[in-house]
Structure 1
Amino acid sequence: MRTAFQKKADKAPSTAGARASQSHALDIVLASLEDSKAEDIVPIDLQGKSSLGDHMVIASGRSHRHVAAIADHLLKALKDAGLGAPRIEGLAGADWVLIDSGDIIIHIFRPEVREFYNLEKMWLTPDLPDQDDETRH
């Protein structure tokens, strides 16, 4: 007789399978953003940097209406791909829409708002040296 833990382990995806699934989901996100004519699309690998998710994608729309349309199109693409129902915030104002699909977090901004918050700088800045490295010099 198998324990509940063993049954759960049997159902868990392999590491390679999980990576392939994440890659497929990221491909769907990027393709949807491209199809919606999103601008300045920047994918950021968060693996090993944050427990928020595995990937973050930042993109811009030209106006409130364009940002909302990009978000709507992406939500439909995620649903059609069977990737569940992501959490979404900011769609009503459409200055900054956040879509959290679990492993992938998508930020869609109007250009002025994106420039103000500058998330890329926070996530793409090289790691600061360790304190031990600083004391050795």
Structure 2
Amino acid sequence: MKSLDDDKAEDISVIELAGKTTIADYMIIATGRSTRQVGAMAEHLREKFKDAGVGGVQIEGMPQADWVLIDAGDVIVHLFRPEVRSFYNLEKMWGIEPPASAERALTRYA
């Protein structure tokens, strides 16, 4: 999370998945203002996971960087541009209210 804060990620949501699914223990969802910011956040997280000794980290979506998925085993991170996050609305799928600014974007793009 500190890496996301340092990279000025917005609307960070942490969803505890333990007991709800076996895919991971936590899901983190965050927004970047541009594809460049989303890509940079993903690269920084890759380095942080590597430095922490987490092996086998998989990253999808880097070429476009509209939505980047980082699978670090027990932690899954979704990094979005605002309109893409609003479109997919992952928080709703897990029964979580999106952050206030993400909610405003939902009403704008819905």
TM interval, short-chain normalised: 0.7 to 0.9
TM-score by length of 2: 0.84
Instruction: Please say if 1:76 is aligned against 2:51.
Output: no
Secondary structure of 2:94 counterpart: helix
Instruction: Please say if 1:58 is aligned against 2:38.
Output: no
Structure 1 CA distance for aligned equivalents of residues 89 and 20 of structure 2: 18
Structure 2 CA distance for aligned equivalents of residues 38 and 90 of structure 1: 17
Partner residue of 1:120 out of 71, 88, 91 = 91
Instruction: Please say if 1:38 is aligned against 2:12.
Output: no
Partner residue of 1:109 out of 69, 80, 103 = 80
TM-score by length of 1: 0.68
Secondary structure of 1:124 counterpart: coil
Instruction: Give the CA RMSD over aligned residues.
Output: 1.3
Instruction: Please say if 1:90 is aligned against 2:61.
Output: yes
Structure 1 CA distance for aligned equivalents of residues 31 and 20 of structure 2: 24
- One-letter amino acid of the counterpart of residue 100, structure 1: D
- One-letter amino acid of the counterpart of residue 87, structure 1: Q
Higher RCO (CA 8 Å, separation ≥ 6 residues): 2
Q: Are the equivalent residues in 2 in contact too, given 1:54–1:104 (CA < 8 A)?
A: yes
The structure that is helix-richer by fraction is 1
Corresponding residue number in structure 1 for 2:71: 100
* Number of positions where the alignment pairs a residue of Structure 1 with one of Structure 2: 97
Instruction: Please say if 1:49 is aligned against 2:20.
Output: yes
Corresponding residue number in structure 2 for 1:134: none
Q: Are the equivalent residues in 2 in contact too, given 1:79–1:85 (CA < 8 A)?
A: no
Secondary structure of 1:70 counterpart: helix
Structure 2 CA distance for aligned equivalents of residues 96 and 85 of structure 1: 20
Structure 2 CA distance for aligned equivalents of residues 66 and 124 of structure 1: 27
Report deviation, 1:85.
Answer: 3.4
Structure 2 CA distance for aligned equivalents of residues 115 and 46 of structure 1: 21
